Amino acid sequence: MSLASVPVAPLPRAAEPAPDATLRFDLTALLAMLGRNRLLIAATLATALLGGLIVTLLISPRYVATASIQIDQEADRVLEGTEVQPQAGYADAERFLQTQADVLRSRALAIRVAERLKLFGDAAFFRAMEAPLPQEAPTAAGTARSREATLRLLQEHLAVELPRNSRVARLAFESTDAEIAARVANAYAGEFIEANLQRKFDSSAYAREFLSRQLAAAKLRLEESERALTRYARAARLIRTADADEGSPSGMPGSVTAASLVQLNAAANDARAARIAAEQKWRSIAQVPVLNIPEVLGNQAVERLLEQRAAGAAELQRERARHLSGHPGVRQLEAQQAELDRQVSTLATAIRSSIHDQYRDALGRERALAEQVDALKGATLAEQDRSVRYAILAREADTNRTLYDGLLQRYKELSAAAGINANNLSIVDVAEPPLAPSSPKLALNLVAALALGLILAGAAVLVREQFDDAVRAPDEVEGKLGLPLLGAIPLVQDIAAEAARPRSPAGEAYNALRSALLHASPHGLPRTLLVTSSQPGEGKSTSSYAIAAGLARLGKRVVLVDLDLRRPSLHRMLDLPNGCGVSDVLAREARLESALQHAQALGFAVLTAGPAAPNPAELLGSASMAEMMATLVERFEAIVLDAPPVLGLADAPTLAAQAEATVFVVEAGRRGRGATKAALRRLRAERAAILGVVLTKFDLRKAGAGQRYYRSGYYNYGEPDTLRQAAE
């Protein structure tokens, strides 16, 4: 018969808390953690503050003197073009200012400052900078080491600040001597301005000297190129006009032949156009009757003759209607009509001949101009062949003339501006010796020490909590062990006596545990309930007794069995004899009925462990154990098994695998170095049905700030006096 025949369902879980409840739970856990580690946190913060105070007192006071310089991108110009170096555009202002800042930090400027203040080898300067003075040997190497140390101190303790949207740079120098800090800052500002002026003057002098040499050479080249051009034009018999040819390069003077060719070519084009128009006109009327020619019809004389002819024809028609053809009147009119026809024909023929004459004249003019153009083309081509060399010489002369004019203009501008010292730098504020040190600042150092202390304290608390597996409060059970909390038993002087009093804090706690067990499975209370813990002394025997007593008060038939055959304790706690017990029954040296003890004062039966057995593990795993448990199941409604601790023994895992349900007891605040979790892993490996955890020895006085719920109201329904004493 299997003792775990009835399946055990997990305890019903509460609904998920609302967001605000979760927040309160997290805050409660945090406050509890801070309360547990308050001494560690306080010690860490005190150490950090003390360290910050000591460091502040040990640091020498340091002073920072600040001078400000306005850096304009361009200086005011007295003459246009007085700057030798090109100015940066306003879009490149940030790079310009950064360049000036790099100049301020440069080694060359540090050398000028050191030479101005005579800082090389100055012992007072090295003392003010808290640096050892190099021991100079009477060698160049010793002097070089001293110079390098001085320049390094100047560059390391100089701070250059360029605020955004501003052209005022601030130079700050730090030293333990306020006077030296101010002197060095002012020296940097002055030397920066002087160095800028010196660079401009040197650049201008070099430019003037360079331009003077270039100007003399350019003048000689221009004279030689113009003489060569004149000699070649005379030898090639080239006559140039002031105007340039249309087809010649820009600036090249034109020739007489080319100008004539252009004019004649234009006239020839006009003659060709006139000839084409005349020819077209003649061809359009050559095969047309003369009276159909538009020029003839448009002639006023022809129009008058045609009108007279039409009138005569009408008169002749009337006369023929009245008289015969031989009549004198008819003959006279016919003679008039014949004369008019002859005049019209003669005039039309003359007009047609004039159109043909115009065509012949246009053709002759075109041919004459074409012959002249052809002649000039040949002359122009020959002249162009001779002009190739001339064009090269002319371009060379023009280039030399342009270069000479530019150099001469620039030389005049630099000469006029040679005595003008325009500067784009100016001192805004002169550095003064500071009255108060800039560092160390006690308040700032203490705040930094406090912040560092908070970080270290937080890290220490997190590390401590990470390696701390102790369960100090009920709220930590599920988070650390992954099991539901069945009950939290407070710490009292006599737990057995308190558990027997139902209204005491311990009695109320065990009543709550009993209620949880009554609903632990689908059929209610498990028939066989094993109570164990990871280590001895955690309160499992007391919890077993309290569970049995609580169930007995409900009228159930209960038996409490002490299965800790190695170190039994129930008989001493209940003041019962231990002459015959479990070990005798399992060894078949006594019957179960004789070993059971029925104490009327307790209200339940007890089966003590009996005499010590040499082989407890074998007895607990034997068939006799199964038979004894089967008999107890038949006779009792609830069987509470007080098992030995889990770690180091095989007894508890073996019994947990056979029991219907297991209750795991954990002592509050006990550090087991992983023993609790290891015990639970062993029980789970044996597939034990673990109902949950009973937290024992929960000290209300040591509960952190996050456990005020338990301190103020968790056991308020118990006995007032006892509760007050427990909470005090």
DSSP 234-250: HHTT--EEEEEPSSSPT
Q: Whole-angstrom Cα distance, residue 128 to residue 110?
A: 17
- Rounded to 10°, the helix 300-322/328-416 angle is 160
Residue 367 pLDDT = 79
- With H, G, I as helix, E, B as strand and everything else as coil, classify residue 696: strand
Distances (CA, A) of 642 to 103, 104, 436, 557, 674: 87, 85, 76, 17, 23
Residue 636 pLDDT = 92
Residue 101 pLDDT = 86
pLDDT, average across residues 545-572: 89
Instruction: Yes or no: say if 296 and 412 are a contact pair by the CB < 8 Å rule.
Output: no
Instruction: Yes or no: say if 556 and 518 are a contact pair by the CB < 8 Å rule.
Output: no
Question: Which residues on adjacent β-strands are paired with residue 158?
Answer: 173
The yes-or-no verdict on residue 699 having pLDDT over 50 is: yes
Identify the CA nearest to 36 among candidates 483, 668, 727. Answer: 668
- With H, G, I as helix, E, B as strand and everything else as coil, classify residue 299: coil
The type of residue at 375 is A
Portion of the chain with pLDDT greater than 90, in percent:
7
Q: Whole-angstrom Cα distance, residue 295 to residue 307?
A: 17
The yes-or-no verdict on residue 627 having pLDDT over 60 is: yes
The yes-or-no verdict on residue 684 having pLDDT over 80 is: yes
Residue 607: its H or E element: strand 604-607
Residue 530 pLDDT = 93
Lookup result for tokens 């303790």: 157
The yes-or-no verdict on residue 545 having pLDDT over 80 is: yes
Distances (CA, A) of 583 to 283, 578, 595, 618: 154, 10, 10, 11
pLDDT, average across residues 212-227: 83
Distances (CA, A) of 19 to 22, 23, 110: 5, 6, 64
Q: Which tokens go with 51? A: 């360290």
Query: Tens of pLDDT along 304-349?
Result: 777 777 777 777 777 777 767 777 776 777 777 777 777 777 777 7
pLDDT, average across residues 383-399: 77
pTM of the complete model beyond 0.85: no
Residues 6+ apart with CB under 8 A from 307: none
Which position has the higher pLDDT, 601 or 380? 601
The yes-or-no verdict on residue 4 having pLDDT over 60 is: no
Cis before 328? omega within 30: no
The yes-or-no verdict on residue 531 having pLDDT over 90 is: yes
Highest mean pLDDT range out of 91-95, 437-441, 612-616, 700-704?
612-616
Q: Which tokens go with 303? A: 């129009």
Q: Return the minimum-mean-pLDDT range out of 322-326, 459-463, 507-511, 581-585.
A: 322-326
Torsion of Cα atoms, 634 then 639 then 644 then 647, to 10°: 100
Identify the CA nearest to 537 among candidates 656, 675, 681. Answer: 675
Distance of CA 101 to the CA centre of its chain: 27
- Mean pLDDT score across all residues of the chain: 77
The yes-or-no verdict on residue 720 having pLDDT over 50 is: no
Residue 641 pLDDT = 93
Q: Whole-angstrom Cα distance, residue 549 to residue 560?
A: 9
Give residue 232's pLDDT band: very low, low, confident or very high (50, 70, 90). Answer: confident
